[in-house]
């Protein structure tokens, strides 16, 4: 059973556009929602994370929007750049567990 569903699987955006990746979770005990960015041939790295006590977190061009009632959270990349081309993973974890649950990833391509 996939506890974190991520969509779309792939995304193509023009330079300067907005990239939006969505994730939905089922376990209401989740209370930490990070996003990871992975470049080809590299390991993922934390991009931005949010806790459910806030509805939005912004870091530069990257914003997480969180909807607790809908059990959904999304990553918005404003002014997308070719250097943002990577695979993005959402994840969710809960207190007492050291094991995050990852989405299946979104491959983002930003065309110049």
Partner 1 sequence: DGGITQSPKYLFRKEGQNVTLSCEQNLNHDAMYWYRQDPGQGLRLIYYSQIVNDFQKGDIAEGYSVSREKKESFPLTVTSAQKNPTAFYLCASSPSGTSGRAEQFFGPGTRLTVL
For residues 72 and 30, the answer to whether their CB atoms sit within 8 Å is no
- Whether cis (ω within 30° of 0) applies to the bond prior to 8 is yes
CB 86, min distance to partner 1, A: 13
Specify the stretch interacting with partner 1 by CB under 8 A; choose among 18-26, 55-63, 73-81, 86-94. 86-94
Q: Tell me how far apart the alpha carbons of residues 13 and 17 are, in angstroms, rounded to a whole number.
A: 6
Instruction: Find the binder of partner 1 among 9, 27, 28, 55 (CB under 8 A).
Output: 9
Residue 82 φ then ψ, to 5°: -55, -30
**Touching partner 1, residues 16-75 (CB under 8 A):** 31-32, 34, 36, 41-46, 49, 51
Token pair, residue 50, equals 């949010």
Residues that bind partner 1 (CB under 8 A): 6, 9, 31-32, 34, 36, 41-46, 49, 51, 89, 93-100, 102-105
């Amino acid at each position: 059973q996939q506890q974190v569903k991520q969509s779309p699987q792939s995304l193509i955006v023009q330079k300067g556009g907005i990239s939006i990746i969505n994730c939905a979770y089922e376990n209401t005990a989740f209370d930490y929602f990070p996003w990871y960015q992975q470049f080809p041939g590299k390991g993922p790295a934390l991009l931005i994370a949010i806790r459910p006590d806030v509805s939005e977190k912004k870091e530069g061009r990257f914003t997480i929007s969180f909807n607790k009632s809908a059990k959904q959270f999304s990553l918005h990349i404003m002014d997308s750049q070719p250097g943002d081309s990577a695979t993005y993973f959402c994840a969710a974890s809960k207190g007492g567990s050291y094991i995050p649950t990852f989405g299946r990833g979104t491959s983002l391509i930003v065309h110049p």
